[in-house]
Amino acid sequence: MKYSVSEENYIKAIYHLQQEVDRVNTMLLASTLETKPASITDMLKKLKTKRLLDYKPYYGFKLSAEGNRVALVIIRRHRLWEFFLAEKLKFSWEEVHEMAEDLEHVSNKKLIDKLDAFLGYPKFDPHGDPIPDQDGKIQKEEHVLLSELKVKAQGRVTKIKSHSTKIMDLIAHQQMNIGSKITVKKVFEFDESMEIVIDGKTTKNISKQLANNIFIANDK
Amino acid sequence: MKYSVSEENYIKAIYHLQQEVDRVNTMLLASTLETKPASITDMLKKLKTKRLLDYKPYYGFKLSAEGNRVALVIIRRHRLWEFFLAEKLKFSWEEVHEMAEDLEHVSNKKLIDKLDAFLGYPKFDPHGDPIPDQDGKIQKEEHVLLSELKVKAQGRVTKIKSHSTKIMDLIAHQQMNIGSKITVKKVFEFDESMEIVIDGKTTKNISKQLANNIFIANDK
DNA sequence: AATATTTTTTAGGTTTGTCTAAATTTTATA
DNA sequence: TATAAAATTTAGACAAACCTAAAAAATATT
Ligand SMILES: [Mn+2]
Ligand SMILES: [Mn+2]
Ligand SMILES: [Mn+2]
Ligand SMILES: [Mn+2]
């Protein structure tokens, strides 16, 4: 089955919201897609008749098994393109999301599988999010917040929680990046700020708020 | 200015038809786009109000200077993606056109320019058609039909006239390709068939009809 | 020159995806 | 529990891009 750009954007948005809440509701989806609630209701009916959605009026909704499968196909396309843009075309990882938002709707399966091969079957996109494979399987990476690490613990930065420009600014300035190796040197009781070493080179002090937004995979 | 997928497809189709005829007409465009004449008229009016088209009812139409500029942007995108698909993803050159038909509408300029750089600023797409540069300039390659070459002449295959599967079949079987070096060994008067050497290795006999569909750049 | 044929445009509809405004249902509050 | 507020759906409209059928204009044929 082939779905329209709009349908795909709805499916993907519902999938992402479901990672946070169990049953998505109209208002929430309207605000993330920046449309009006009435438009959401229209699309919900359509997705329901296409059997992509479990939906009872007034009771919220969730993707069907098939809806989930479709969502993962779209997310696979999105993240592979993001990886391509960052890795091959040398875009910074803040720039890639918007372009991938369009590229994800080019839906030729053979194209995506060949792209995957060309990129060397990457497991994570530039933001550290997992890339579903051909069967929709995603590799779960166990990561913890940097703020939860104890002194002497170390690991690699896998993901940033929020992608706001404010946080990006700070992180870029600190010369941290996805993949950077982090070692915790000290944790100060006063404000829970940390002293860390980045890639075995530079030593930095970071606030609790910042450490709360950085995910780390335990290196071992 | 940003144009819809439909608008872009119309603009590009008009551009291509103008390479053959001076003023395009409704029927011709309808048949190449596989739509009805009434739909063409609707779009012509829209393109006219957007100043992309010179159009007087009943008198045929042609792209304005701006329309031409836009067409070349779309063709640049199309051919760069084709080059990417063939060169990097290892698609055969018969497969790339259809996928490029979708990718050409992803219109982020920085993306296309970076793709261009990544590919090494190629001048010709896998079919041998020239790729417009950032300013819409296209490199004119002087090529002649293989059938016009005399004995001992040599050159490289730059382009195939028709892209029908029937011709593709034959050409693939003869192990010819864009870029193959061709040397004419003999021309038989009886049926004007030729004996040629491909890439200095294999010797083949080809019919006048086939030679009439293969463009050659004079190597020198 | 008159008539027939072809081409093009116009008129009026349909589908998709959006919207506003109003009605309905659910949830919260007094 | 009655009422107020919020969330959701319905009703009706609109733009984009298509369509069919009919009218109008251009071109070809007798
Ligand atoms: Mn993204
Ligand atoms: Mn999207
Ligand atoms: Mn092409
Ligand atoms: Mn296209």
Both structure tokens of A34: 């920046």
CATH code linked to domain B144-218: 2.30.30.90
Is the confidence at residue A161, as pLDDT, over 80?
yes
pLDDT tier for residue A172 given thresholds of 50, 70 and 90: confident
Write the pLDDT tens digit of every residue in A2-44: 999 999 999 999 999 999 999 999 999 999 999 999 999 999 9
Confidence of residue A219 (pLDDT cuts 50, 70, 90): low
As a whole number of angstroms, the distance between CA B89 and CA B105 comes to 19
Q: Which residue of A has its CA nearest to B98?
A: A108
Q: Is the Cβ of B102 closer than 8 Å to some Cβ of chain A? A: yes
Architecture of domain B5-63: Orthogonal Bundle (1.10)
The residue in chain A having the minimum alpha-carbon distance to the alpha carbon of residue B112 is A89
Do B118 and A89 lie within an 8 Å CB cutoff?
yes
Tell me the percentage of chain A whose pLDDT exceeds 70. Answer: 99
Find the CB nearest B99 among A90, A99, A108. A108
Q: List strand residue ranges (DSSP E) for chain A, in order.
A: 53-55, 61-63, 143-145, 154-160, 181-187, 194-198, 202-206, 214-218
Q: What's the rounded mean pLDDT across residues B13-38?
A: 97
End-to-end CA distance of chain A: 42
Whole-number distance in Å between B59 CA and D26 C1'? 10
**For residue A52, what pLDDT is reported?**
98
Q: Where are the domains of chain A?
A: 5-63, 144-218
Whether B179 CB is under 7 Å from strand C:
no
Mean pLDDT estimate for chain A: 93
CA angle A215, A92, A130 (to 5 degrees): 40
Please give the C-alpha separations between residue B204 and each of B74, B135, B183, B207, in angstroms, as whole numbers.
38, 42, 10, 10
Question: What's the pLDDT score for residue A220?
Answer: 43
Q: Cβ contacts of residue A219 below 8 Å, gap of 6+?
A: A154, A155, A156, A181
pLDDT confidence tier of residue B29, bands split at 50, 70 and 90: very high
Q: Which residue is nearest to nucleotide D11 (CA to C1')?
A: A38
Tell me what the mean pLDDT of segment A108-123 comes to.
Answer: 97
* Angle, helices B26-33/B5-18, rounded to nearest 10 degrees: 120
- Tell me, what's the pLDDT at B58? 96
* Nearest by Cα to A156 from A180, A132, A185, A125: A180
Structure tokens at A33: 């897609």
Say whether the CB atom of A39 is under 7 angstroms from strand D. no
Buried b (16+ CB within 10 A) or exposed e, A149-171: beeebbbbbbbbeeeeeebeebb
Q: Does B108 touch chain A (CB under 8 A)?
A: yes
- The answer to whether B41 CB sits below 7 Å from nucleic acid chain D is no
CA A33, distance to chain mean position in Å, is 16
Give the residue from A83, A218, A217 showing the smallest Cα distance to A158.
Answer: A217
Q: List, for residues B146-200, the tens digit of each pLDDT value.
A: 898 888 888 888 888 887 788 888 888 888 888 788 999 999 989 999 999 998 8
Q: B142 CB contacts (<8 Å, ≥6 apart)?
A: B217, B218
Residue B186: its H or E element: strand B181-187
Task: Tell me how far apart the alpha carbons of residues A62 and A53 are, in angstroms, rounded to a whole number.
Answer: 6
Q: What is the pLDDT of residues B92-136, one digit of tens each?
A: 988 999 999 999 999 999 999 999 999 999 999 988 899 999 999
Contact A106 B103 (CB under 8 A): yes
Mind listing the pLDDT tens digit for each residue in A34-82?
Answer: 999 999 999 999 999 999 999 999 999 999 999 999 999 999 999 999 9
A102 — contact with chain B (CB < 8 Å)? yes
What mean pLDDT is reported for chain B?
Answer: 93
Percent of chain B exceeding pLDDT 90 equals 72
Q: Return the pLDDT at A139.
A: 87
Beta bridge partners of B184: B196
pTM of the model: 0.84
Residue B53 token pair: 């088209």
